[in-house]
Copies of this chain bind each other. A is one copy, B any other.
Amino acid sequence: MEKKSEKYECYVLVHNIAKRHNVGTLARSATAFGVAEIILVGRRDFNAFGSHGSTSHLKFRHFHSLSLARSFLKEKDCDICGVEITDNAMAVNEHPFRKSTAFLLGNEGTGLSAKECEICDFFVYIPQYGGGTASLNVTVAASIVLHHYGESIAEERKLRKETNANGFFNESGKDEAPSNLLDGLFAS
A29 within 8 A of B: yes
Evaluate contact between B29 and A132: CB separation under 8 angstroms. no
Report if A182 contacts B (CB, 8 A): no
Which B residues are in CB contact (< 8 Å) with A52?
109, 133, 135
CB neighbours (8 Å) of A159 from chain B are none
Give the distance in Å from the alpha carbon of A53 to the alpha carbon of B151 in the complex. Answer: 32
User: Which residues on the B side are within 8 Å of A25 (C-beta)?
Assistant: 137, 140
> Could you tell me if A129 and B143 are in contact, using CB atoms closer than 8 angstroms?
no
B50 and A137 contacting across the interface, CB-CB below 8 Å = yes
Flag if B57 contacts A137 (CB, 8 Å). no
Q: Interface centre among A127, A143, A154, by most B CB within 10 Å?
A: A143
Q: Of B34, B54, B132, B144, which contacts A31 at CB under 8 A?
A: B132
Copies of this chain: 2
Q: In the assembled complex, how far is the CB of residue A180 from the closest CB belonging to chain B, in whole angstroms?
A: 12
Residue of B nearest to A141 (CB): B143
The answer to whether residues A93 and B130 also contact, given A29-B136, A137-B139, A140-B29 and a CB cut-off of 8 A, is: no
A32 partner residues in chain B, CB cutoff 8 A: 128, 130, 132-136
Please judge, given known A-B contacts A28-B136, A133-B54, whether A34 and B144 are in contact too, CB under 8 Å: no
Residues of B within 8 A of A130 (CB): 30-35, 57, 150, 174
Query: A150–B109 Cα gap in the complex (Å)?
Result: 23
Q: A70 interface residue, CB < 8 Å from B?
A: no
Q: A131 near B: Cβ within 8 Å?
A: yes
In the complex, besides A58-B132, A131-B174, 12 extra interface pairs with C-beta distance below 8 angstroms are A28-B133, A28-B135, A28-B136, A28-B140, A29-B136, A32-B132, A33-B129, A34-B128, A34-B129, A127-B147, A129-B153, A140-B140
Query: Could you pull out 6 A-B pairs where Cβ atoms are within 8 angstroms?
Result: A29-B136, A30-B130, A33-B128, A130-B150, A140-B143, A144-B144
